[in-house]
Amino acid sequence: MRPSGRAPDEMRAITIETAFTKHAEGSCLISFGDTRVLCTASVERSVPPWMRNKGTGWVTGEYSMLPRSTHTRSSREAARGKQSGRTQEIQRLIGRSLRAVVDMQKLGERQITLDCDVIQADGGTRTASITGAWIALRLAVNKLMEEGAIKEDPITAKIAAISCGIFQGTPVLDLDYDEDSNADADANFVLIEGGQIAEVQATAEGATYDEEGLLRLLRLAQMGCADIFKAQEEATK
Bind-site residues for phosphate: 86, 124-126
Phi and psi at 218, nearest 5°, equal -60, -40
Instruction: Give the closest residue to 61 by CA, choosing from 40, 45, 86.
Output: 40
Site for its own copies in 46-65 (CB under 8 A): 62, 64
6, 51, 56, 77: which one contacts its own copies (CB under 8 A)? 77
From the list 50, 147, 169, 211, which residue makes contact with its own copies (rule: CB under 8 A)? 211
Longest dimension (CA), the chain: 57
Nearer to its own copies, 101 or 150 (CB): 101
Helix (H) / strand (E) containing 223: helix 211-236
∠ CA 161-166-172, nearest 5°, is 55
State the minimum distance, in angstroms, from the CB of residue 149 to its own copies: 16
Q: Which residue, 82 or 237, is less far from its own copies as judged by CB?
A: 82
Asked if 169 touches its own copies (CB under 8 A), the answer is no
Is 178 among the residues that bind its own copies (CB under 8 A)?
no
* Site track for its own copies across 124-163, x = CB under 8 A: ----------------------------------------
Q: Does 195 bind its own copies (CB under 8 A)?
A: yes
Residue 64's nearest CA partner among 28, 113, 117 is 117
Could you say whether residue 69 binds its own copies (CB under 8 A)? yes
User: What does the angle CA 129 – CA 95 – CA 183 come to, to the nearest 5 degrees?
Assistant: 50
Using CB under 8 A, pick the residue from 82, 146, 147, 169 that binds its own copies. 82
Contact 133, 116 (CB under 8 A): yes
User: Closest distance between its own copies and the C-beta of residue 23, in Å?
Assistant: 5
Residue 26: partners with Cβ closer than 8 Å, 6 or more residues away:
40, 41, 135, 136, 137, 138, 139, 140, 141, 142, 143
Q: Which of 4, 10, 18, 34 binds its own copies (CB under 8 A)?
A: 34
* 70 interacts with its own copies by CB under 8 A: yes
Applying CB under 8 A, among 14, 16, 24, 28 the residue interacting with its own copies is 24
Site size for its own copies (CB under 8 A): 63
Asked whether position 15 contacts its own copies by CB under 8 A, the answer is no
> 3-state class of 13 per DSSP?
coil
Instruction: Kindly identify the residues of this chain, within the stretch 96-115, that bind its own copies according to CB under 8 A.
Output: 96, 100, 113, 115
Contact 131/160 with Cβ under 8 angstroms?
yes
* β pairing state of 111-120 and 35-44: antiparallel
